[in-house]
Amino acid sequence: MNELQSYDEILPYLRKKRRKAHLLLGNGFSIAYDHKIFSYNALQGFIEEIEDELLSKLFDIVKTKNFELVMQQLDNFYELIEAFGSDKKLGRKVQEASKKLKSSLIDAVQTLHPEHVFKIPAEESEQCAQFLAEYLDNGGNIFSSNYDLLLYWVLMRNNLPNHIDGFGRDKEDEEEEFTQDPDYSELRWGKYKDTQNMHHLHGTLPIFDTGIDIVKEEYGGGKYLLENIEDRLNNDEYPIFVASGDSDDKLNHILHNRYLTHCYEALTKIEGSLVTFGFNFGKYDHHIIDAINIAAKHGKRVGNKLFSVYIGVYSEDDKKHIESITKLFKCKVNMFNAKTAKVWR
């Protein structure tokens, strides 16, 4: 890995080329903070500890602890049942199993999570904020595929001035009833979407679809953010969460939610260069590659497109994997040593 460039070389080079830089974060962003909490192994341990007979059987059948693969198998099985006109009772059982698995994934992320924002040491939060600000302060966008609260916490705690997630409040009073202390709505998405630069591609714990509005849960009412999210979960409200099987299923989920669609389309419109950290471009991520390729081809003028992607890799295996899929990209692919990026420590 010594032959790979370091992270510190990338942004100065892009600035010299007058090229805008955007950031894509994957699960490795959270694992870099604490691998005991945010890895698939942690989710595996959660499933084993809840001792759910059905979920255990599902994982044993496919010999994996990968949520996405199990959910894909369930979806395929349900389609086979439908195609052969089999017992509807069996079909309902499969659907119930899929729903239970998805809710368990949400429960796992929520349960394994640090209790509140101040569990993150101040120096780590500040370091991460500096890492993110390099993009937000220079006209770039940040895209995340993570479900957890780490990114949200860092942005709020450090009050990054150029962070726009598209959410805002509306006055609830009728115009003639405005007082010195008008009532405001909860945080609703849409008011600032035209200038939005923070995008959760697969949803995240604090964002809920009420059926009418896309809303963001927040700290308040004397409770920490995670406690308020838990209250919603206990009321059978679930966050926007793309927990589907393969890449096509994920894209289908995205395109059936207006918030997710907006975030995905924002990725297809970026110009300049995209830097990725902790995103491995696995076999369930082809919809992300498709979005990158749209951005690489969308500009009619030479300077109006995505020119390149810089992919952070942690190991020789990671490097070999990226080399094996380079041909899938319609822009130049560069790799850098992800261990050189000072994200948390």
Domain interval for residue 105: 40-112
Taking the C-alpha atoms of residue 189 and residue 24, their distance in angstroms, rounded to an integer, is 21
More confident call, 189 vs 102:
189
Task: Classify residue 345: in a domain, yes or no.
Answer: no
Residues 6+ apart with CB under 8 A from 295: 267, 268, 269, 270, 271, 274, 305, 306, 331
Give pLDDT, residue 173. 60
pLDDT in tens, 116-157: 777 889 999 999 999 999 999 999 999 999 988 899 989 988
Q: Determine what percent of the chain is predicted with pLDDT higher than 70.
A: 83
Task: Classify residue 16: in a domain, yes or no.
Answer: yes
Tell me which of 112, 141, 164 is where a domain ends. Answer: 112
Q: Which helix (H) or strand (E) holds 81?
A: helix 67-83
Indicate whether 26 and 80 sit together in one domain: no
Indicate whether 91 and 219 sit together in one domain: no
Give pLDDT, residue 22. 98
Give pLDDT, residue 72. 65
Indicate whether 94 and 228 sit together in one domain: no
Give pLDDT, residue 120. 87
Give pLDDT, residue 218. 84
Confidence of residue 2 (pLDDT cuts 50, 70, 90): low
Task: Classify residue 292: in a domain, yes or no.
Answer: yes
The DSSP symbol for 291 reads: H
State the total domains in the chain. 2
Indicate whether 326 and 271 sit together in one domain: yes
Indicate whether 27 and 97 sit together in one domain: no
Give pLDDT, residue 50. 62
Task: Classify residue 271: in a domain, yes or no.
Answer: yes
More confident call, 1 vs 156:
156
- The pLDDT mean for the chain works out to 85
Tell me which of 65, 92, 112 is where a domain ends. Answer: 112
Taking the C-alpha atoms of residue 117 and residue 200, their distance in angstroms, rounded to an integer, is 19
Give pLDDT, residue 125. 93
Q: What value does the mean pLDDT take over residues 163-171?
A: 90
Give pLDDT, residue 258. 95
Q: What is the DSSP string of 142-181?
A: EEE---SSHHHHHHHHTT-TT---SEE--B-S-GGG--SS
Give pLDDT, residue 195. 96
Q: Is 283 exposed, middle or buried (0-12, 13-18, 19+ CB in 10 A)?
A: exposed
Give pLDDT, residue 237. 76
pLDDT in tens, 55-98: 777 777 766 555 656 766 777 777 888 787 767 787 888 877 77
pLDDT in tens, 193-212: 999 999 999 999 899 988 88
CB 206 within 8 A of CB 238: no
Long-range contacts of residues 178-187, Cβ cutoff 8 Å, at least 24 apart: 186/215, 186/216, 186/218, 187/215, 187/216, 187/218
Smallest Cα–Cα separation from 331: which of 29, 19, 27?
A: 19
Give pLDDT, residue 209. 87
Tell me which of 112, 127, 147 is where a domain ends. Answer: 112
Indicate whether 65 and 173 sit together in one domain: no
Q: Is the pLDDT of residue 37 over 80?
A: no
Q: Is the pLDDT of residue 34 over 90?
A: no
pLDDT in tens, 284-330: 899 999 999 999 986 555 567 999 999 999 999 999 999 999 999 99
Structure tokens at 121: 């040491």
Indicate whether 46 and 188 sit together in one domain: no
Indicate whether 57 and 21 sit together in one domain: no
Antiparallel, parallel or unpaired: β 203-209 and 214-216: antiparallel
Q: What value does the mean pLDDT take over residues 6-27?
A: 96
The DSSP symbol for 84 reads: T
Indicate whether 103 and 239 sit together in one domain: no
Task: Classify residue 235: in a domain, yes or no.
Answer: yes
Which pTM was predicted?
A: 0.83
* Least trusted range by pLDDT, from 12-21, 22-31, 240-249: 240-249
